[in-house]
Structure 1
Amino acid sequence: MTETNAHTRLIELEQSPIRAPSATAAKSVAADLKPLGADHPEIAALLSANTPAREFLFAALALSPYLRDLALCDPEALVRSLTRPVAELVEETVARARGCWRREDGTPASESEVMRDLRCAKRQVAMALALADLARLIGCSETTQHLSNLADASLGAAFDHLLFNSHEAGKLTLKNPDRPGEGSGLIVLGMGKHGAGELNYSSDIDIVVFFDPEAGIVPDPDEATDIFARLVRRLVRIMQERTGDGYVFRTDLRLRPDPGSTPLAFPLEAALNYYESRGQNWERAAFIKARAVAGDLAAGERFIQELVPFVFRKYLDFAAISDIHSIKRQIHAHRGFGDIAVKGHNTKLGRGGIREIEFFVQTQQLIAGGRMPKLRLRRTDEMLVALARARWIDPATARTLAESYWYLRDVEHRIQMVHDEQSHTLPETEAELARIALMMGEPGTASFGKTYVSMLKRVEECYAALFENEAGLSGTAGNLVFTGEDDDPETLKTLSEFGFERPADISRIIRTWHYGRYRATQSVEARERLTELTPELLRVFGATKRADEALIRFDAFIAGLPAGIQLFSLISSNPGLMSLMVTIMTAAPRLAEVIARKPHVFDGMLDPGLLAELPTRRYLAERLASFLDGATAYEEVLDRLRIVALEQKFLIGVRLLTDAIAPERAARAFSYLADLIIASALDAVRAGMEEAHGKIPGGRAAVLGMGKLGSLELTAGSDIDIILLYDHDPDSEESDGPKPLDPARYYARMTQRLVAALSAPTAEGILYEVDLRLRPSGNKGPVATSVRAFAKYQAEEAWTWEHMALTRARPVAGDASLCGDARRLIDEVLARPRDKAKLRADLTEMRDLIEQEKPPRDIWDVKLIPGGLIDIEFIAQMLSLEARAGGWVPDEGEDGAGDRAGETSGSSGDPLPFDLGIEEREFGECTGTDATLAALGPKALGLEVTETLRRALALWSGHAQVVRLCTEGEFDPAEAPAGLIDLAIRKGEAPSLKSLEADFKATSKQVRALFKKITS
């Protein structure tokens, strides 16, 4: 654009570069303008003459409802735009705006006056620039610069007004009240297109505000943050509150450091520390265009200079490319990204759009700007020239991108001129698209579309040449912008399309990651990896049911991590690990909570052999011994036991979750782990007792595992039922230590300490909830039982149900000789002759009582439902008692050699340097329900009935294992995580939840019928 043309008045147009969409539309504009002629002869003269200027004005106002409304509400602005040279008019208006904080007589203006004057200036500049731009009297470059100048002037005037007012109120002491910003230490930086002098026609302005507490204008430096934050809040009101005069600029402060948790005005030193330690690559890119625009301009320029090492690194920064890739991937538009398009295409963010040109430039500035100061310019077009001169790109590419850039900016401006909306997206309808085509001087949508698409393709070709992996970067479904503080509407839309129901919450979480608020995301490297990973994480989590809950659990996990780079790198390179993480977060809130509270448990998942290694007793014992090695203090032993138990429970659960082990294998592993933990806790308690109270002569102690612990059927959430047995020399009266105790008190105190060691909460949590109610006389009896009293009680006083419980008893820890004695004693008690009819009557009565006192909630209550776990366990216990009375003794071989054959799986088979605890092969394992059914069922019940019961047991037990692993509560399909429902369906080998429910009901009915028949 020549200087002469730039000063041409609209009224002197020789031809109109645009035309109205129809004669009817032109007549409508003429009718609206006609009444204005009475007070404005310039308008009347224009309307009466058949000139190109009149044709242009009718077209412009017909195509832009916003300009039409502006002309009708402010005819003077229209007259000036028609009759004054545009550059002169705009420069004069901008200068007047800059000084509006004071009246012509030098007195300070009121806030309402400042707001009115700035809005009038914006209205005049918007009218003049739009008409001149549409008339092709000025180009897009001049339009953007004039708009940027107006933004500078408006901010300068507003801040001067606010600073002066605060000075007058005694809150600040300005160094030069006639020039409030001078020496104030208040730094206002224009960012993005504002900083570069490239503002859109309807653009927001991005600013960041810093202050120097040492500037000396705040009487109490401790109050500086509050004072300047309030000042910025007032500034936002002045700029963007809509009044009868409109608004000035929408003002965005989200580019300040960590906007979700920091004040609107940021202390200077804290800002420098932030950028030095936590600044991200996208912030480096943003600060390329930063410019001091208001306040203390000299201080602002000094601050920008101090940030140069952060923005432009000394060495060629090729490492930044992958992060720039991921940033680019996060801001692509939903429409028009996958394919080049016209209707609905986002001119800024879509494929081949403005943002690709900007990224093309900024990426190379980040890479080479540290070594080449000439590549530190702000404006995109000037940088393309600089890149070509530096031979960083070839001149043809520079010309292509510069031409495409200004063409696309023209399109962008015309989109915004229609309704003064900050939109970058071409209309979807033919009629509205035709409006844009005509504003571009095209005869119709076909010719416009052809030109538009050719520009996009040229940009895409240049961009693809820079980013070799462009195809790989184009996989996201839409806009994903997580900078700043407020939500990007298109990002929320994309998150919704991914599958998230609360996109605003998800956006807030992702911003938390990107701003380094967690320890795991404080390093630049960790944030770069996570930025790269974010789109895929969102895609994978979004594809699950109840995606929001799953991502929130993942966020809690990240929040607890001490560091993140290793994990983020592993996940990005290991789809299996990402899949496992998603499975945990979607199916197993209990496990997700564990890793959120205790992230160290996740370390075991990084073991590549995890899923191939069976959690046998030997495997678990090796890890327990290794972890306890070196721990001597009682409290340290207990804490280490909690740490290793939590980790191993978690890893057993992961194996179950991923089908690496079956539910019955998981039950045995949970039980083995409990055995080893109890044995270690008992050793620590015994040592403490002996130190304080000495030893009981001939004293021995052993722990019986009862219930599911005894039958090797523990779940992830099971309590443990135990009985502590003891024995000593008959004539022992007390222990031999400094504080002697008689045997009964000694072992009672040992039991109490053991229970506390296992169940008392510490910083590392608890090990197990412990239940002692299966001891002789239940809660009425002593907590520790002598072996003699145990034998007498079982022989003379025990009820049938207690003998049924005893069929599952198993020594799990303690003195080996006493464990052997206990095993033999149990065998003797259970081998006593018994009345079968009474046994079955007692069993039926007990089952009826349970059903009355604890009715099942629903069909998913697999323990209590008719035909559920209790029915099958009762049948197995009945068979065991009847068989033992007939002389049968459980044999270890009857429990299946396959599991014990795996005891050395993954190990060398060499003897361990420590005791495994109570070896299952020494006392046999045929205490489990399935083992008992397998050993006794075929003969007593028949093979078909036995297999029916075993299949039902596997169904119930598998479901219980999964539910107790994944949740703290019960299974309710209406509330359960979607992943857990899918897991339950898979474990139940059903095609759907409805089918699984039908299978549960049929199985329940079938087993209850067998129970009644067998126990009758």
Structure 2
Amino acid sequence: MAIDEKTYEEIAGASANTPDPERAQRNLLRFVELNPDKSPSPCFPIAARLFAVSRFLANYCIANPGELFAAIREIRSNITKISLEERAGGLPGHKMDINHMMKALRLFKKQYLLRITLRDITGETGIQSSMEELTLLAETIISISLKWSLRLNRQRFGKPADSAITLIALGKLGAEELNYSSDVDLIAVYDKEGGRTAGVPGPSGVRTNRISNHEFYCRVVELFGKLLSSQTEDGIAYRVDLRLRPQGQRGEVALPLKAYRTYYESWGRTWERMALIRARPAAGDIGLGKAFMEAIRPFVWRETVDYSEIEEIRGLKKKIDSTFARDDIKRGYGGIREAEFFVQTFQLLYGRANRHLRTHGTLDAIRVLREMKMAPEEDLVTLRGNYLFLRRLEHYLQMKEDLQTHTLPPSDEETEVIARSMGFPSKSDFLASLRLRRMQTKNMYNSLLGTKEDVHAEALNLLEGKLSDEELSGYLSFRKVRHAGKCLINMKNIREHMSAFRTMQERSLIREVMPRLLENALTAESPDRALAGLESLLTT
């Protein structure tokens, strides 16, 4: 279809106000060309914004124009558990065809991912509400899939003897802070260890296909995982991750409640306590879910505080550091995981005595820490802001292609797009803000969990890193100096005097000693005076 000049100008105008005008215009032109009888002229501004930030959803809308118009009409409608369950009632759960069901689940997810994304990028929701809506969507699909798998397995093997199953959410799903392209971390619990299924009547009336409850529920979970994680022409619904169960990939995919209790009492490790902080029932039998939460309570919230567990947490983080790149905003330097570890360590140490800390949400835990004054108010406000900033960035990185990525794009052009999506006028402003926020988060992590080597490396980065005056001044303010401008001059002079050391032995010595002195100065009662004194020490 040839596009008339007026429509072309409308498309160009709508695209110009997006983070990526070229991509928005290209996708809008494709939409109009391939759907000539469904021109979305009044919707151009919203569609352009969507098409600029998500190629994945742009392709979906071009192939399904009616879904775009429906989503725009409903953009102010809150996405709730009730509304999702009502819409999901139309899915073909009665039809025991796995391919048909997989297709229905994937299309349902795309329909509502489109709505959630539109509400997010147009400001109808904030980052917290967006994460909550993504969580509700996942829970709805998980619940439907579990029920369908149970129904099919009951048809094959009969009903299990006096038993039920529940799925426990962990990770971001458990925290109700799911992101756009996240795994769903789950463990499966059933209640009765013994017993067999009723079987199904054969032609002669004799019941066949009787299996143990354990085998039945393992089959249920395996089919459930296949429903959601199998790659089809419509993609996947969710990547189901069951590796947080006892024994990980070597363990059974479903276990009775008693087995979980025995495992955690006898062999549970610190990292499993951290994982279970965010545990909550997500689907299946509600009563059994509550029983599981009660069973793990003594393990997660222990009677005594064992500070040696901090060393285990440090070791876990070091292992993560050796596996993932420093630039990974989730698991790398000053990233999402370090903010979470900081909060969860407080929860592990003090959750037994302070019941309000026993919350599965990271943001809720930060709120409780502020109310209980367990860390400086300003630091926790900064941590919360940085956590939300990184989660927002994570969303924009993932919504483009619906891929699980946590690193900035390699090209300057794509980074510019991310910068504008995040509300910055330029790439340099965005990267400066990101560096400062990660330095702040890293400092808070180091204050609780950092090793001497970590603290030394951070101080050395202040002395030798490629930080702009604005970044360094912002970090000094975060470290509670009263006059950042004067302290910035002190820092520059210290750097200059350090560079005057010529021999390799002198440089090695100053790089070893000066970071320690700098960190001591920044943690002093009066960091301004201490920094000035440190400068004087070098110049005399």
Determine if the TM-score, normalized by the shorter chain, exceeds 0.5. Answer: yes
Give how far 1:300 is off. 1.2
2:63 is equivalent to residue 81 of structure 1: no
Task: Summarize the alignment of residues 375-454 of structure 1 with structure 2, pairs less than 5 Å apart.
Answer: 375-454=357-436
Q: Any residues of structure 2 matched to 1:13-412 within 5 Å, and which? A: 19-22=18-21, 24-35=22-33, 37-40=35-38, 43-46=40-43, 54-88=44-78, 94-96=84-86, 98-99=88-89, 107=94, 110-173=97-160, 184-214=163-193, 218-219=197-198, 223-332=212-321, 337=326, 345-412=327-394
Please say if residues 96 and 152 of structure 2, whose CA atoms lie closer than 8 Å, have aligned partners that are also in contact: no
Offset of 1:30 from its aligned partner? 2.4
Q: Deviations over 1:965-1003 (max 9, x none)?
A: xxxxxxxxxxxxxxxxxxxxxxxxxxxxxxxxxxxxxxx
Q: Give CA deviations for 1:609-645 in whole Å, capped at 9, x if unaligned.
A: xxxxxxxxxxxxxxxxxxxxxxxxxxxxxxxxxxxxx
Query: 2: CA distance between counterparts of 1:366 and 1:170?
Result: 43
In 1: Cα distance, 2:286 partner to 2:91 partner: 18
TM-score of the pair, normalised by structure 2: 0.74
**Secondary structure in 1 matching 2:360:** coil
The amino acid of 1:192's aligned partner reads: G
- Counterparts of 2:128 and 2:441, CA distance in 1: 19
Deviations 1:860-903 (A, max 9, x none): xxxxxxxxxxxxxxxxxxxxxxxxxxxxxxxxxxxxxxxxxxxx
How far apart are the structure 2 equivalents of 1:100 and 1:291? 27
CA distance in 2, matches of 1:237, 1:334: 28
SS at structure 1 position matched to 2:212:
helix
Q: Which runs of 5+ in 1 are unaligned?
A: 1-14, 47-53, 176-183, 338-344, 476-1016
The amino acid across from 2:259 in the alignment is A
Q: TM-score, normalised by structure 1?
A: 0.41
Change in 2 beyond 3 A, CA 1:356/1:162: same
CA distance in 1, matches of 2:275, 2:454: 24
State the SS of the aligned residue for 1:423: coil
Asked if 1 retains the 8 angstrom alpha-carbon contact of 2:187 and 2:245, the reply is yes
Residue type at the aligned position of 1:121: F
Residue segments in structure 2 that go unaligned for 5+ positions in a row: 1-13, 200-209, 458-540
Matches within 5 A, 1:777-788: none
Distance 1:223 1:425, change over 3 A: same
Check conservation: 1:97, 1:118, Cα contact below 8 A: no
Q: How does 1:471-510 map to 2 (within 5 A)?
A: 471-472=453-454
Per-residue deviation, 1:205:
0.4
Alpha-carbon shift at residue 56 of structure 1 (Å): 4.5
What is the count of residue pairs matched by the alignment?
A: 434
8 Å Cα contact 2:446/2:454 also seen in 1: no
- Describe the SS at the equivalent of 1:163: helix
Q: Which amino acid aligns with 1:67?
A: L
Q: Give the distance between the partners of 1:215 and 1:185, measured in 2 at CA.
A: 12
Question: How many angstroms apart in 2 are the aligned matches of 1:16 and 1:318?
Answer: 55
C-alpha distance in structure 1 between counterparts of 2:363 and 2:67, whole Å: 31
Q: 1:315-355 CA deviation, whole Å, 9 max, x = no partner?
A: 22322111111111111266763xxxxxxx21111111111
Which is greater in Rg? 1
Distance in 2 (CA, whole Å) between partners of 1:385 and 1:16 is 39
SS at match of 1:313: coil
Moved more, 420-429 or 357-366: 420-429
Post-superposition shift, 1:96?
4.0
Identity of counterpart residues, as a percentage?
29
> Per the alignment, do residues 253 and 165 of structure 1 end up closer, same or farther by CA in structure 2, a change over 3 Å counting?
same
Contact 2:339–2:445 (CA<8 Å) still a contact in 1? yes
Q: What CA distance in whole angstroms lies between the structure 2 residues aligned with 1:457 and 1:473?
A: 12
Aligned counterparts of 1:297 and 1:18: Cα–Cα separation in 2: 48
**In 1: Cα distance, 2:158 partner to 2:312 partner:** 44
Structure 1 residues 174, 213: closer, same or farther in 2, change over 3 A? closer
- How far 1:385 sits from its partner (Å)? 0.8
For 2:54, the aligned partner's letter is S
Residues 432, 33 of structure 1: alpha-carbon distance in 2 compared, 3 angstrom cutoff: same
> Per the alignment, do residues 296 and 312 of structure 1 end up closer, same or farther by CA in structure 2, a change over 3 Å counting?
same
Alpha-carbon separation, structure 1, partners of 2:91 and 2:23 = 41
Provide Cα deviations, 1:190-213, integer angstroms capped at 9, x if missing partner.
111101101111001011112222
Assess if the C-alpha contact under 8 Å between 2:196 and 2:212 holds in 1.
no
CA spacing shift, 1:45–1:390, aligned 2, 3 Å: closer
Considering Cα pairs closer than 8 Å and 6+ residues apart, tell me whether 1 or 2 has the greater RCO: 2
Give, in whole Å, the separation in 2 of the partners of 1:36 and 1:129: 25
Amino acid at match of 1:157: I
SS state at 1:213 partner: coil
1:198–1:423 CA distance, 2 compared to 1 (3 A) = same
Over 3 Å counting, the alpha-carbon distance change for 1:28 and 1:470 in structure 2 is farther
**Quick one: structure 1 residues 187 and 216, their matched pair in 2 at CA, closer, same or farther if it must change by over 3 Å?**
farther
Q: Describe how 1:895-934 pairs up with structure 2 within 5 A.
A: none
- The Cα offsets for residues 805-847 of structure 1, whole Å up to 9 and x where unpaired, read as xxxxxxxxxxxxxxxxxxxxxxxxxxxxxxxxxxxxxxxxxxx
Indicate conservation of the 8 Å contact 2:105/2:141, yes or no. yes
**CA separation in 2, counterparts of 1:251 and 1:448?**
33
Summarize the alignment of residues 456-855 of structure 1 with structure 2, pairs less than 5 Å apart: 456-469=438-451, 471-472=453-454
Q: Distance in 1 between matches of 2:25 and 2:333?
A: 39
Counterparts of 1:314 and 1:392, CA distance in 2: 19
Partner residue, 2:461: none
Distance 1:420 1:474, change over 3 A: farther
Offset, 1:119: 1.2
Q: Are the aligned partners of 1:347 and 1:424 in contact in 2 as well (CA < 8 Å)?
A: yes
Q: Do the aligned partners of residues 301 and 258 (structure 1) sit closer, same or farther apart at CA in structure 2, a change above 3 Å counting?
A: same
CA 1:333–1:227 in structure 2 vs 1: closer, same or farther (change >3 Å)? Answer: same
Aligned-pair distance for 1:473?
Answer: 8.4
Q: Secondary structure, in 3 states, of the residue corresponding to 1:419?
A: coil
CA distance in 2, matches of 1:36, 1:194: 37
- Cα deviation, residue 114, structure 1: 2.9
Contact 2:340 2:362 in 1 (8 A): yes
CA contact 2:194–2:213 (8 Å) conserved in 1: no
Cα distance change on mapping 1:81 and 1:215 into 2, 3 Å: farther
Structure 2 match to 1:694: none
- Give the letter aligned to residue 318 of structure 2: R
CA shift for structure 1 position 255: 0.6
SS in 2 for 1:409: helix
Residue identity in the other structure for 2:184: I
Q: Alpha carbons of 1:267 and 1:89: their partners in 2 closer, same or farther (altered >3 Å)?
A: closer
In the TM superposition, residue 185 of structure 1 has moved relative to its aligned partner by 2.3
Which residue in 1 is equivalent to 2:479? none
Deviations 1:776-800 (A, max 9, x none): xxxxxxxxxxxxxxxxxxxxxxxxx
Question: How far off is 1:216 after superposition?
Answer: 6.2
Answer whether contact 1:101 1:161 (CA < 8 A) is retained.
no
Shift of 1:173: 4.5
The SS at the match of 1:471 is helix
Counterparts of 2:214 and 2:30, CA distance in 1: 51
- Structure 1 residues 18, 121: closer, same or farther in 2, change over 3 A? farther
